[in-house]
Amino acid sequence: MNLFRRLFKGNDIKSEDEVRKLNEQLPADEQFAMNFTKNGGKFIYCTTEIQVQEVFRHILKELGVYVKMSSNASHTIKTMFEEHTPLFTADIETSNVYLTDCEYLITTLGGIMLSSHQLRHKNINELPEIFIVFAKTSQMVRDIPEGMRGIKNKYPQQFPTGLITLQSFTDDPEKNSINHYGTSSKRTYLILLEDLPIDK
Cβ-proximal residues to 96 (8 Å cutoff; 6+ apart), any chain? 65, 67, 68, 69, 128, 129, 130
- Tens digits of residue pLDDT in 134-173: 999 999 999 999 999 999 999 999 899 889 999 989 765 4
Q: Which of 35-49, 122-136, 149-163, 167-181 has the lowest mean pLDDT?
A: 167-181
- Segment 18-45 shows an average pLDDT of 84
pLDDT at 19: 58
Q: What is the pTM of this model?
A: 0.83
What distance in Å separates the CA atoms of residue 51 and residue 46, rounded to the nearest whole number? 6
**Order of all β-strands in the sheet with 42-46:** 42-46, 187-193, 130-136, 97-100, 69-71
The domains of the chain, with CATH numbers, are: 42-193 (3.40.50.10420)
Give the model's confidence band at 177: pLDDT under 50 very low, under 70 low, under 90 confident, else very high.
Answer: very low
Averaged pLDDT of the chain: 84
Give the model's confidence band at 178: pLDDT under 50 very low, under 70 low, under 90 confident, else very high.
Answer: very low
- Tens digits of residue pLDDT in 73-103: 899 999 999 999 999 998 999 999 999 999 9
**pLDDT higher than threshold 70 for residue 1:** no
